Structure 1
Amino acid sequence: MTESTSVLRQHAETQYARELEALAAGDTRQKPPRWKLSPWAVSLYLLGGELPSGERISPKYIGNRRVIEIAVATLATDRALLLLGVPGTAKSWVSEHLAAAISGDSTLVVQGTAGTSEEAVRYGWNYAQLLSKGPTHEAVVPSPVMRAMREGKIARIEELTRMPGEVQDSLISTLSEKALPIAELDDEVQARKGFNIIATANDRDRGVNELSSALKRRFNTVVLPPPRCADDEVEIVQTRVASIGRALELPAETPALEEIRRIVTVFRELREGATADGKVKLKSTTSSMSTAEAISVITHGMSLAAHFGDGVLRSADLAGGMVGAIVKDPVQDRIAMLEYLETVVKEREGWKDLYRACREVMD
């Protein structure tokens, strides 16, 4: 087993290296400075399609084509890109693949948290060298943003709104002036052509810090919506589950499409507060009921089926993960879940097995 195949999750540029190479080989359109692919080819990489050579490019994002085209076009300008959406709308996934296709490197990442410091988006110091030699260029520890500026690449900032406000605002001068001052050395790092920033954010979770108006003006905001229809969401879940199953080497059979559709239906109905036909209103839950959580439930069920069953995914394998994803609040969510089971799942034709499995978990 090679090093690249032994890691749990490969970076996008490694996992899809063959597709990126095929796109680059047949890409005759104009490329912005230091881009590996033209904007057209980047869009094709994200959305999928077929090259004149017959090489098939798998879709990384299933949704509105124009959303991806706007995002790619933004990165070809001097405006940074903010991918905004509710949890589970593939913001990080799209960010990673955009960086992989444009820069060939998706690893220049800052993860935003309440504890993220200004050094994470600017620079820090190697204190051993700082104490022995004082402030020197060799003692500077560059952030992913500084490295991206030096190399003319895309930097990614995940969960920008989780950072403290003062850390967020430390990006303003970088985005405006395309330079990062190093005051201690009376010097600066100027961004090379090809540099830009992709940030992701949502405004639904707790612990979110509103972006200042000054910072918002430095970004072009693109909203990634939830999947518009059940068929799109089923396709997304099916594709991602198959990919994760291969990476984890789960010895379970590929989940039946009907089981995936049932989980997607449950999540969509609880997310929207009504059954698909609109006849039954449902209590809301505190959980986001995102596509990402649906993928997790199916993957968890495959693991149960593989290691504690016969390898065939059934409702009993799904019930535990499904209840765990829905019931985050032991009071409000439990009431909503029980009502949904009794008024919808129990009465729906062909769903009695799922009803019994979920009641067994909850009782």
Structure 2
Amino acid sequence: MVGREGRSPNGTDAQLPGGRPAGGAEGVLRPHAEQEYAEELARLHEHDDRPRPPGWRLSPWAVTTYLLGGDLPDGTAISPKYVGQRRLMEVAVATLATDRALLLLGVPGTAKTWVSEHLAAAISGDSTLLVQGTAGTSEEAIRYGWNYARLLAEGPSEKAMVESPLMRAMRLGSVARIEELTRMPGDVQDSLITVLSEKTLPVPELGTEVQARRGFTVIATANDRDRGVNELSSALRRRFNTVVLPLPDSAEDEVDIVARRVGQLGAALELPESPAGLEEIRRVVTVFRELRSGLTGDGRTKLKSPSGTLSTAEAISVITSGLALAAHFGDGVLRAADVAGGMVGAVVQDPVSDRVVWQEYLETVVRERPEWRDFYRACREVS
């Protein structure tokens, strides 16, 4: 039997749903997790002799190892996908092994989408059953829609119905992902209640229902920092087990995350090889952490915080853009001038209030650090 991650149990190449080639995904800018990490998933599958919940391709232990990294008995190194508290990932995986849905909550940039994708890839072998929440998301995106040409010609029928990703996941016994759940209107959110509690999706037009197969579950992500957030009803929130993903605990953890992701993105984008510039990464992370917390690293100076989140994801973007500048318009070495423009753009979201915060930080903190003189000059030039 061929698994939906694109490899058979013995590790041979196969096809993903829709005819996508597994593993290679050659020429694709951003392969799905099950494509990019097909080899790791296959090796885990081979060595995984622990009990698996119904419908899971890997055991909870193997899923957690895939997320956090580790070494297999044959020496295969599994790369970490998430750097953070192990217990958080264990709770998330254990939740999905029950009949509860999982809500990953946190401020923007805390790897909620990243974690949900990799959880789906490891559990179901398919991370593509995705509903993107927006203010304009309709109930059809959660339940089902209709091919109106066929509906008018033939009337309501199975063939005229257009399955939502959630309905498809129920039929297959797979993981469905819902991004930015709190951006959806409240009435659309509440259409999930029956699905999550009864594990059925009624289709009154056909006098039938879709019952979820074993292995079906939902992973949703949400944050409460952005504008346009719609609070979850208490009835819906009770259907989820919530795991809050925090910002990295320490500066070293955040530097490690940024350096790792920058390396992966650089390879995916085929940027000319250049040193990642660990010192510049450390400097960007330091600035972000100090402005986020409103306090310098030594605890001596209180700071005003800008309106933006200054997340780890934004730090990764600043460094990746800097590497592109260094590679294409510099000498290939990441320097302060390469990250200054991206840094200012990340901090100054509000052109009035954030600019005051940034100028104050430059003059009271950056200027007083002798080892940051090049960074101070570069930021002053672009500010």
In which range does the TM-score fall when normalised by the shorter chain?
over 0.9
Q: Distance in 2 between matches of 1:79 and 1:102?
A: 15
**Counterpart residue number, 1:313:** 334
**Counterpart residue number, 1:81:** 102
Q: Distance in 1 between matches of 2:182 and 2:91?
A: 22
- Matching residue's letter, 2:281: I
Deviation string 1:162-191 (CA, Å, 9 cap, x unpaired) is 000000000000001100001100110000
Structure 2 residue 246 is the aligned partner of structure 1 residue 232: no
Q: What pairs with 1:335-346 in structure 2 (closer than 5 Å)?
A: 335-346=356-367
Deviation string 1:45-91 (CA, Å, 9 cap, x unpaired) is 00001011110000000000000000000000000000000110000
Alignment check: 8 A CA contact 1:49 1:58 kept: yes
**Counterpart residue number, 2:80:** 59
Secondary structure, counterpart of 2:314 in structure 1 = helix
Work out which of the residue numbers 345, 349, 357 in structure 1 matches 2:370.
349
Q: 4+ residue stretches of structure 1 with deviation over 6 A?
A: none
Structure 2 residue 355 is the aligned partner of structure 1 residue 334: yes
Alignment check: 8 A CA contact 1:81 1:197 kept: yes
Q: Distance in 2 between matches of 1:255 and 1:348?
A: 23
Q: What pairs with 1:98-247 in structure 2 (closer than 5 Å)?
A: 98-247=119-268
Alignment check: 8 A CA contact 2:181 2:221 kept: yes
Q: Which has the higher contact order (CA 8 A, sep 6+)?
A: 1
Q: What pairs with 1:239-258 in structure 2 (closer than 5 Å)?
A: 239-258=260-279
**Counterpart residue number, 1:323:** 344
- Matching residue's letter, 2:41: L
**Counterpart residue number, 1:284:** 305
Alignment check: 8 A CA contact 1:123 1:141 kept: yes
User: How far did residue 4 of structure 1 move?
Assistant: 1.1
Deviation string 1:196-235 (CA, Å, 9 cap, x unpaired) is 0000000111110000000000000000010000000000
Q: Distance in 2 between matches of 1:113 and 1:252?
A: 38
- Matching residue's letter, 1:105: D
**Counterpart residue number, 2:14:** none
User: How far did residue 5 of structure 1 move?
Assistant: 2.0
User: How far did residue 254 of structure 1 move?
Assistant: 2.8
User: How far did residue 306 of structure 1 move?
Assistant: 1.3
Alignment check: 8 A CA contact 1:252 1:302 kept: no
Alignment check: 8 A CA contact 2:275 2:332 kept: no
Q: Distance in 2 between matches of 1:5 and 1:310?
A: 29
Aligned-residue RMSD, C-alpha: 0.8
Number of matched pairs? 361
**Counterpart residue number, 2:8:** none
Work out which of the residue numbers 259, 266, 278 in structure 1 matches 2:287.
266
Alignment check: 8 A CA contact 1:252 1:312 kept: no
Q: Which runs of 5+ in 2 are unaligned?
A: 1-20
TM-score (norm 1): 0.98
Q: Distance in 1 between matches of 2:132 and 2:329?
A: 36
Q: Distance in 1 between matches of 2:119 and 2:304?
A: 37
Alignment check: 8 A CA contact 2:277 2:335 kept: no
Determine what percentage of the aligned residue pairs are the same residue: 72
Secondary structure, counterpart of 1:307 in structure 2 = helix
Q: Which runs of 5+ in 1 are unaligned?
A: none
Secondary structure, counterpart of 1:180 in structure 2 = strand
**Counterpart residue number, 1:29:** 50
Q: Distance in 2 between matches of 1:350 and 1:305?
A: 21
User: How far did residue 307 of structure 1 move?
Assistant: 1.4
Work out which of the residue numbers 332, 356, 359 in structure 1 matches 2:380.
359
User: How far did residue 128 of structure 1 move?
Assistant: 1.0
Q: Distance in 1 between matches of 2:316 and 2:221?
A: 20
Alignment check: 8 A CA contact 1:83 1:91 kept: yes
- Matching residue's letter, 2:204: A
User: How far did residue 308 of structure 1 move?
Assistant: 1.2
TM-score (norm 2): 0.93
Secondary structure, counterpart of 1:141 in structure 2 = strand
**Counterpart residue number, 2:321:** 300
User: How far did residue 193 of structure 1 move?
Assistant: 0.2
Alignment check: 8 A CA contact 1:36 1:104 kept: yes
**Counterpart residue number, 2:91:** 70
Alignment check: 8 A CA contact 1:81 1:199 kept: yes
Q: Distance in 2 between matches of 1:117 and 1:348?
A: 52
Deviation string 1:141-169 (CA, Å, 9 cap, x unpaired) is 00000000000000000000000000000
